Amino acid sequence: MSDADIDAESADDDAVLETRLRLVEEENRRLREEYARSKRVSYRRSAVAFAALGVLAGLLGVVFADARTVLFALAGTGVFAGVLTYYLTPEHVVPVTVGERAFSALAENEADIARELGLTDHRYYVPVEHPDAGARLFVPQHASARRPDDDALAAVFVATDDDRERGLSLYASGDRLFEEYERARTTPADGDPERLGESLVDALANQFELVESGDVERVADGRLVVALSGVEFGSGETFDHPVASFLAVGVARDLGEAVALRVTDGGERADERVVLDWPAFEADETANARRE
């Protein structure tokens, strides 16, 4: 076979591969659009069902005078739910696997940076007075770390004159989630860690749908332990996982204390446990023993 024939055959193979690639891309695009369309249809069917139930309850209220008050209340609720569901129908649906893979790449990069810098495995979530963040994740260089001031924590690489204040300061993935949580929260915790923990867990399960279930297992002096099951976005031990980060940021910002975070195995009752200790940066043996 001549060189010209080989070149021609190679060109044909490239053309076939390019055609197949275009077909695969087109099929993926079609599947994504079909998935999003099916989700929109599902939402709109639910909206129609709510509205229909509301109208039916209203008609029954006209007929049955004895139950008119209850039926009219159901009618108003059904119509309102239908309108709300219809107008809140998402235009774009992102599968959870897409978000998980995007997050895992970011988390691995941040973890690699911490390793390359020779930092510890300690994770501190520190409340700060910054215009664009209410808490920062601080990964210290030394196990017996001290809390840097807010100005130092504004920089990614914290390099103060005190070695024990040096480390890596990052935006916490749970900080923006906590802001959304605060907008929806109706009852403040008033400094009660148990009430705060229950409220944060409820938000994870019902507001953000990042866990299937969760329970506040233990509340002690400066310690909160939360058991979680069905955690989205992979293991909670991942660097700055949004679920664990949200809990730590919530405690840090609500109580105004720096929080040390650990994630452990959940045993038989749960998938994993999030252990939060405050105030962080205590160097004495008693504090270290309490964290263990």
Which pLDDT value is given to residue 292? 47
> pTM for this one?
0.67
Task: Report phi then psi at 4, rounded to 5.
Answer: -65, -40
Q: Smallest Cα–Cα separation from 51: which of 70, 77, 71?
A: 77
Cβ(227)–Cβ(218) under 8 Å? no
Is residue 86 over pLDDT 80?
no
Is residue 96 over pLDDT 50?
yes
Alpha-carbon span 90 to 39, nearest angstrom:
8
Instruction: Give tens-digit pLDDT for 171-219.
Output: 999 999 999 999 888 778 778 899 999 999 999 998 888 999 999 998 8
Alpha-carbon span 179 to 135, nearest angstrom:
11
Is residue 136 over pLDDT 70?
yes
Instruction: Give tens-digit pLDDT for 252-283.
Output: 999 999 999 999 998 888 899 999 999 988 63
| DSSP structural state of residue 7 | H
